Each structure stands twice: as C-alpha cells, then as structure tokens.
C-alpha cells in the first residue's frame, strides 16, 4: 500500500534505547517518523498488556527495546523481560495475533545508527502488512467498536 | 382464548423471508457445533462466525441454550454516552438506545415468560430508556417443549412446557409436519397478517379445511393434540410454599452456609439467567475521550456490595446465596408481583459447582421454620 | 470407592480431620459435585470416578471452608500439584491439609508436602500425546485461521469469571479486573475486553498453572481456555524447564532467568 503510513509505538527503556534514540537525533540521522516512543525505566517494567493495548488503540506495529543482556541499569530487568516475551510471543502467536507486527531488540545508548535502522526496517515491514484491521479496538468514543458476534 | 392456526414446518423459510422483508431481524436457535445459540437467520456473518443462511440450520429440537435470550433487550454491554475532554470543557453526547425490530423465533415458554420479569424490573418506577424501546419492538414466536431434562422446572414456578404467557405466537409441533400456532397477542396477529396463507384454521368446518387443518381424528381438537406432545415436567415445589417460609428462614445462617459451601462465587448463574438484571455502569476512557457503558454484573461476586467505606454487607458467600434465593422467590414476588425465576434450569446446567437451584429451593420448601 | 469411604469414616471418627472434602453424585450422571463431609455417618456420599474432575483445592481459599477446621482433600494428581504450587506461593502451610490420593481402589494418605512430592514423582508428567496433538493441530493452522478460531471462541466469553473462581491459583483478594484506578482490563464483554481478560488470565498463570482443566470445565460457554494455559505450560517447560506443582522449591519461571535464555527473536 503506497500511501499507508503505519502507526508504530515503541516501548523503550530509559537508560539504553531511549538514550540511543536520542543519539540518533543528535547525530542528525534521518529515519522514518512513524514511531511514537514511550519511555519506561526498564524493559522489566513492560507489562505484556501494554502491547495489546497499543493495538487496541489502533496502532499497526509495536517495537520493544532495551539494554543488552548484562548491561541492564537495574542488573536483571531485561532478563526478566526476555522470559516474559518468550512466553507471551508463544501465546499470542497461538491465538493468531500477528507476531510480524511485534518486534523486540536490544539497542544500547551508543547505538544511534542501529535505532534508525530498526525503525526504518520495522516501518517498511509493517507498511507491507497494511493496517492492523482485524484487531479489536478500544471504545473511547473516537474509534468505532468491533461488535461481538 | 388465543386463536388457533396450523403452520406447516416447510413454510418456515417463507415465513422468515416475509419477516425479514418487513424489516425484522429474525433470531432463531442455530446449531454451532455442539451448542445451540440464538443467532440471526439469513445474515451471512463475518468475523469468524459461520455463515448462517437458511432455516435448515435452525435446531428446534434443542432443550435449552446456554446463553439467555435476554441479550436482545438487555445486552451484555451497552453504550450510554460518549464524551470528550477539550481543554477545560467536557463534551458529552448521548448515544441513542438502539432498538431493531426483532423476532425471537423458537423460544421456549420459560424464556418467553422471563420478559415479564425483566419488564417489571426495568419499568417499575421509571421506564428504562435502553430497555423499553427494545421490548416494544420485540415479537416472540415461542415453541412448546416436547422434551425437558433433569434441570427443567418450569411447572414449579407457574409455567409449563406449553404455557402461552409471554409469547406473541406459540408453536407446538403436533406431528412431524405441522405446528399448532396459538395467536396470543396483537403482535402475533401482525405476524400472521404478513403471510396469512401460511396459517390455516386449526379446527375446520368444511372437509377441505379439516384436511389442511389439525384434526385428523374425529373428536380430537387441536388442543388435545397439543397436550399429547408436551413434555412431562413434574412440579417440585409450589412458589406459595416459599413465599411464607423464606422470610422465616432468612436469619438461619446455618441453612444458607450449608447450601452454599460448594459455591465458588463466579457470575455464571446470574449471567445465564433470563431474569437476572443486575448491571454495572463503567466509564471506559483513554485520557481525553471515553464512553459510559452499562454491562452485566452479578450479586454473586464478592465485591458486588462493597461500599466505598470498605464495609461489605454481604461479605460471605452464604449471604450472597441467600440474597439470590430471596430476591427471586421472595422479594420480587412481594414487591413486583412476579417471580424472579422461570425454571429454565440454565443456572444449574452452567454452574461449575453444580449448585442446582431447583434442588436447593425444594430443600428450602421442606425446611421447617 | 469403598476404600475412600472407609478412610473418610476412620479419619473423622479418629478426629484426625474435621472435614473430608471430596466428591458426591451430581445433578446428572455426567457430573459430580463437591461435598464437605463432617460426620462419619455421611461418608457414604463420597464417590470416586471419572466425573470427579473439579479441582477441589479451590475451596481451601474459601473462608467458610477454612472455618470448618482441618480438612482432608480428595485429590487427583493435578489437585496435588495445585497444593504444592500454593505452598510455593505461601498460600498453604505444611500439614494444613491431609491430601488423599485415590488410585486402583486404594487410598494413599499424603499428610505433608514431602509426601505429596514423593507421590507425584511417580505419576506421569507432561502432556499426553492426545493433548500435544490437539495443540499442534491448532498451531498448524494459518495465522488467519487461528485468529478466526480464537475470535469466535473468545467472542462467546461473557466475563462471568467462572474460570477464575474455579482455579485454586487465582486467589487474589482483588483481581486485576476489579481494579479501576486505572481500569486495566475493560469490563465490557466486547471483543477487546474478552481478548484482554483471557490473555491476562493465561499470562498471570504462566509458569504456575498445573493443567487441571477446571477453568474450561467451569466455563458456561464451553470455551477451550485451558488450551491457552496449556500452550504456555508447554513453552514454560520447553524453554525454562518449568514444571509447577511438583515440588515446594521456589522456582517460578518468570521470577528467574538464565543469562543464555533463547533469544533468536530479538534483533
């Protein structure tokens, strides 16, 4: 779809990925403007429901990113996150939720280029997939409800 | 006395066609794998539901559905208003209650009777704006029961497998090919008027009429034929027995504790019950915009009566069980003049702990005060 | 069955326990119901057959049952696992329950967690071939087919929370769905609310669920929510070696980690 601009949300940790994305900016690296960043102290804080709620808000793709294993500012937050992601990926894939729209990565504070590459890559992948129409949307008065059978 | 007509089973497709053409949504019991559920006839539904196109997918041999038909007038959730915050302003917009002309086809007499209770609750002081229009546009074509199961107890609560109250037309399958159609109300007459050629007189005067009509044996009326096919449901208790006994049993905590020991406190019984009406009102919002909705609730939940102060007048499951029984068999009859139970048995079929309401109420009817 | 009734009588007459929580005949031949036998004379109510599926451990969370005094609990292997998992989560003290395992006409008394552990070590572990096939069959469907299946299944959910009430590991005084500051899971039984509730339930039980199947049995709509738990149990076992309920060792998969947990999916 040529003129479809995917809406992406990125849940990122404050100490690594957010700083890394900051570096992307200060390095004047241009990258797709489709992502909205949500900063959390640590990937360990990311509740899997946040991802589903993003889809429920009409988002087409989600990025989750944090410090490399071993580098977590809180020592082990990203290790716990990784386990949580392993389980939740299996569950949502089993249920038929599109895993191609959920991307995980480790981006450190020094990896400004990697962040740009990541966002560009995910944007193009999700652009090809199109809007995430099948996912039920939250009823907040703006979006129409998807009726139950 | 209702008017009696004969409707042939093979006419159902045509009847649905006429009803749909007149702008009605027709809901009938449709088979979905192992289950029978009320769903729209003739609507090719998307979103994972199998297409349901013809009357041939209707299952009229069902004993009972799991979910009640009250969803037609009291949906699982319903939006009431939407709002948006803009700076210091809040803009609210009421959402007009939706009411589609609907025909509920194939509802058993117990379910048909439940609408009287729902109506009593939703209109007893001020009319419920979401309920009333839906009920006004609802026509019920009931179906008598030729079989029941161990959970049915309509005859203990003033109903019966061939009871007409609550139905606008009541159909009884008097043989493999024909229904006796009792036209009970004006809404029922309006349905007949859509396709009068499908409804033959039941007790004909002339020979040709009798051939098309019910009676194949001399002297047997349509009513006799109906009685012959109805299920036999033996009454298990009389509601009048309860009316006096229950208030006296109220303070007997031991009775209620014993009965409710195995209750696990879920909401299944209230949700599958055709006469339960409890609802919650919630605002669901995302920061600057939201909807206010109402949704089903259950007095069986532990938090149902929790006050903002932290006090909970029904903190124990036994108190909540007592409430359920008292509400249906004592408070509602006393205050609204209707029983809160139609004996459909859904609660007992669905209960994960096998609480069996009829058995418990029978026991209460025999408990000395 | 006779052995069970004998045992119940002996336990009650001897004062070892105040109540025997077991199964009695239900409303129809396919069902059993929980029974709380306090009098040796009532022990004949107890039955034991394939209808005895409900996980009775859930009653140990109920105040009215706690008030009856020390219980004996007729326990299938899955129920025994939920006792140990409750112990791991500090919900149950050792020797607070006398578990009764029934097999081959014999009743085995399991008075301590150690005894339960030993007994369970001899029971078959893991999913049966049939259960694995069922999961594989579903997993082999295309993405669209899987989504169509689960949307239709979960569309029937009425949010009655019978699944939650039936589960002995759902013991929270205030469940996440009952918190409204913020309302994390929508209350309404709409498509999103149903999806989110069922995902949350499955995830909150991930690595803890003992696969008793009571959740699916309890569901008035017959939704196969046990499959969601089972697929997570399979993953937790495969990826983390987690097998909840077989020991009292604190080993919750999501509270632990290994530096080399598999991560091919992370860029």
* pLDDT of B128: 94
**Crossing angle (nearest 10°) for helices C226-240 and A77-95:** 140
Ranges under pLDDT 70 in chain A: 1-2, 139-149
Contact C131, C124 (CB under 8 A): no
Task: Please state, in angstroms and rounded to a whole number, the distance separating the CA atoms of residues A14 and B313.
Answer: 47
Any idea what the Cα angle at residue C230 is, between residues A49 and C101, rounded to 5°? 130
Contact C37, C11 (CB under 8 A): no
* pLDDT of C182: 81
- Strands of B161-203 (E only): list them: 169-173, 178-183, 199-201
Task: Please state, in angstroms and rounded to a whole number, the distance separating the CA atoms of residues A33 and A116.
Answer: 10
The residues near C97 (Cβ < 8 Å, ≥ 6 apart) are C60, C70, C71, C72, C73, C83
Any idea what the Cα angle at residue B310 is, between residues B306 and B316, rounded to 5°? 50
The string of pLDDT tens digits covering residues C75-102 is 999 999 999 999 999 999 999 999 999 9
Place of tokens 């990125």: A10
Contact C236, C230 (CB under 8 A): no
Residue C180 DSSP code: B
ipTM over 0.90: yes
Alpha helices in C128-177 (DSSP H): 129-139, 143-155, 162-166
Measured CA distances, B53 to B32, B365, C151 (Å): 13, 47, 21
C 173-232 near B (Cβ less than 8 A): 174, 178, 180, 183, 186-190, 193, 214, 217-218, 220-222
Chain B residues near residue C160 by CB distance under 8 angstroms: 266-268, 270-272, 298
**CB neighbours of residue C226 within 10 Å:** 21
B350 and C152: CB-CB below 8 Å?
no
Task: Please state, in angstroms and rounded to a whole number, the distance separating the CA atoms of residues B340 and B328.
Answer: 4
Chain B residues near residue A38 by CB distance under 8 angstroms: none
* pLDDT of A46: 94
pLDDT at C51 over 80: yes
Q: Kindly list the structural domains of chain A, giving each domain's residue range(s) and its CATH number in brackets, ordered by start.
A: 8-129 (3.40.50)
Domain ranges across chain C? 2-121, 129-255
Chain C residues near residue B295 by CB distance under 8 angstroms: 159, 187-189
Strand B102-107 to B138-143 pairing: parallel
**Crossing angle (nearest 10°) for helices C191-204 and A48-56:** 170
Chain B residues near residue A146 by CB distance under 8 angstroms: 47
Q: Please choose, from the candidates C173, C138, C142, C168, the residue with its C-alpha nearest in 3D space to the C-alpha of residue C153.
A: C138
B47 and A146: CB-CB below 8 Å?
yes
* pLDDT of A2: 60
Share of chain C above pLDDT 70, in %: 100
- Interface check for C41 against chain A (CB to CB < 8 A): the answer is no
C254 and A86: CB-CB below 8 Å?
no
To test the contact with chain A by mutation, choose from B33, B43, B47, B50 the residue with the greatest count of A C-beta atoms within 10 A, namely: B47
Contact C224, A81 (CB under 8 A): no
**What sign results for the dihedral spanned by CA atoms B291, B293, B295, B301?**
positive
* Mean pLDDT of the region C122-128: 91
pLDDT at C213 over 60: yes
Q: Please choose, from the candidates B196, B197, B321, B314, the residue with its C-alpha nearest in 3D space to the C-alpha of residue B254.
A: B321
From chain A, which residues contact C within 8 Å (Cβ)? 48-49, 52-53, 56, 69-70, 76, 79-80, 82-92, 94-98, 103-106, 118, 134, 136-139, 145-149
Contact B239, B294 (CB under 8 A): no
C 233-262 near B (Cβ less than 8 A): none
Domain of residue B165 covers 3-366
* pLDDT of B295: 93
Ranges under pLDDT 50 in chain B: 44-53
Task: Please state, in angstroms and rounded to a whole number, the distance separating the CA atoms of residues B336 and C169.
Answer: 41
Chain A residues near residue B47 by CB distance under 8 angstroms: 146-147, 149
In angstroms, what separates the C-alpha of C246 from chain A's closest C-alpha? Answer: 20
Residue B22 parent element (H or E): none
Measured CA distances, B106 to A56, B143, B152 (Å): 37, 5, 17
To test the contact with chain B by mutation, choose from C151, C187, C194, C196 the residue with the greatest count of B C-beta atoms within 10 A, namely: C187
Measured CA distances, B267 to A146, B301, B340, B357, C218 (Å): 24, 6, 17, 14, 11
Task: Please state, in angstroms and rounded to a whole number, the distance separating the CA atoms of residues B34 and C184.
Answer: 34
In angstroms, what separates the C-alpha of A101 from chain B's closest C-alpha? Answer: 20
Place of tokens 């409900």: C54
Phi, psi of B4 (to 5 degrees): -110, 135
Task: Please state, in angstroms and rounded to a whole number, the distance separating the CA atoms of residues C134 and C132.
Answer: 5
* pLDDT of A40: 96
User: How many helices and strands (H and E) does chain B possess?
Assistant: 13, 12
Domain count, chain B: 1
* pLDDT of A146: 35
């Amino acid at each position: 779809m040529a003129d479809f601009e995917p809406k992406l949300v990125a849940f990122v940790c404050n100490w690594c990925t957010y700083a890394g994305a900051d570096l992307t900016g200060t390095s004047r690296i241009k990258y797709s403007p489709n992502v909205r960043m949500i900063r959390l102290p640590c990937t360990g804080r990311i509740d899997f429901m946040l991802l589903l709620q993003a889809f429920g808000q009409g988002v087409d793709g989600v990025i989750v990113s944090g410090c490399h294993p071993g580098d977590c500012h809180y020592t082990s937050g990203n290790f716990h996150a990784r386990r949580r992601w392993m389980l939740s990926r299996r569950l949502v894939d089993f249920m038929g939720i599109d895993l191609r729209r959920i991307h995980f990565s480790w981006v450190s504070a020094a990896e400004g280029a990697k962040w740009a590459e990541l966002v560009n890559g995910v944007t193009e992948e999700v652009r090809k997939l199109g809007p995430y129409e099948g996912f039920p949307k939250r009823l907040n008065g703006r979006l129409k409800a998807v009726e139950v059978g | 006395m209702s008017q009696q007509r004969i409707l042939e089973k093979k006419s159902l497709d045509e009847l649905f066609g006429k009803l749909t053409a007149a702008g009605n949504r027709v809901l009938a019991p449709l088979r979905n794998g192992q289950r029978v559920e009320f769903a729209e006839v003739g609507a090719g539904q998307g979103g994972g539901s199998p297409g349901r196109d013809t009357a041939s997918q209707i299952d009229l041999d069902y004993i009972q559905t799991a979910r009640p038909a009250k969803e037609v007038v009291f949906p699982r959730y319903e939006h009431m208003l939407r709002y948006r915050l803009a700076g210091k302003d809040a803009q609210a917009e009421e959402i007009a209650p939706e009411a589609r002309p609907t025909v509920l086809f194939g509802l058993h007499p117990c379910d048909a009777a439940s609408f009287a209770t729902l109506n009593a609750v939703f209109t007893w002081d001020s009319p419920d704006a979401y309920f009333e229009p839906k009920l006004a546009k609802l026509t019920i074509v009931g179906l008598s029961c030729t079989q029941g199961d161990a959970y049915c107890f309509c005859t203990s609560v003033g109903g019966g497998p061939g009871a007409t109250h609550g139905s606008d037309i009541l159909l009884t399958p008097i043989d493999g090919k024909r229904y006796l159609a009792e036209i009970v109300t004006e809404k029922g007459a309006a349905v007949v008027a859509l396709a009068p050629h499908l409804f033959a007189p039941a007790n004909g005067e002339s020979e040709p009429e009798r051939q098309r009509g019910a009676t194949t044996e001399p002297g047997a009326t349509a009513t006799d034929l109906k009685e012959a096919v109805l299920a036999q449901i033996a009454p298990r208790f009389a509601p009048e027995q309860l009316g006096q006994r229950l208030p006296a049993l109220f303070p007997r905590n031991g009775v209620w504790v014993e009965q409710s020991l195995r209750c696990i406190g879920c909401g299944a019984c209230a949700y599958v019950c055709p006469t339960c009406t409890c609802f919650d009102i919630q605002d669901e919002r995302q920061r600057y915009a939201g909807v206010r909705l109402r949704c089903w609730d259950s007095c069986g939940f532990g938090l149902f009566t929790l006050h903002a102060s932290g006090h909970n007048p029904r903190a124990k499951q036994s108190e909540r069980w007592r409430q359920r029984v008292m509400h249906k068999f004592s408070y509602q009859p006393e205050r609204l003049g209707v029983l809160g139970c139609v004996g459909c048995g859904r609660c007992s079929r669905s209960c994960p702990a096998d609480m069996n309401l009829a058995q418990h109420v029978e026991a209460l009817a025999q408990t000395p005060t | 069955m006779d052995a069970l009734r004998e045992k119940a009588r002996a336990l009650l007459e001897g004062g070892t326990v105040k109540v025997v929580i077991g199964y009695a005949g239900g409303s129809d031949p396919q069902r059993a119901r929980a029974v709380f036998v306090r009098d040796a004379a009532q022990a004949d109510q107890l039955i034991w057959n394939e209808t005895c599926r409900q996980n009775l451990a859930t009653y140990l969370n109920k105040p009215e049952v706690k008030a009856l005094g020390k219980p004996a609990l007729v326990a299938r292997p899955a129920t025994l696992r939920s006792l140990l998992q409750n112990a791991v989560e500090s919900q149950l003290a050792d020797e607070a329950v006398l578990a009764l395992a029934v097999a081959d006409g014999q009743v085995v008394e399991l008075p301590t967690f150690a005894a339960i552990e030993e007994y369970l070590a001899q029971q078959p572990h893991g999913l049966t071939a049939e259960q694995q096939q069922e999961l594989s069959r579903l997993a082999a469907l295309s993405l669209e087919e899987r989504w169509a299946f689960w949307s239709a299944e979960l569309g029937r959910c009425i949010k009655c929370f019978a699944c939650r009430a039936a589960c002995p590991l759902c013991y929270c005084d205030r469940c996440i769905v009952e918190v409204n500051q913020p309302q994390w899971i929508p209350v309404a039984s709409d498509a999103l609310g149903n999806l989110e509730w069922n995902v949350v339930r499955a995830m909150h039980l991930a690595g803890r669920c003992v696969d008793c199947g009571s959740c699916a049995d309890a569901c008035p709509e017959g939704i196969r929510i046990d499959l969601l738990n089972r697929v997570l149990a399979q993953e937790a076992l495969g990826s983390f070696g987690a097998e909840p309920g077989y020991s009292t060792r604190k080993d919750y998969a999501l509270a632990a980690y290994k530096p080399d947990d598999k991560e091919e999916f992370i860029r």
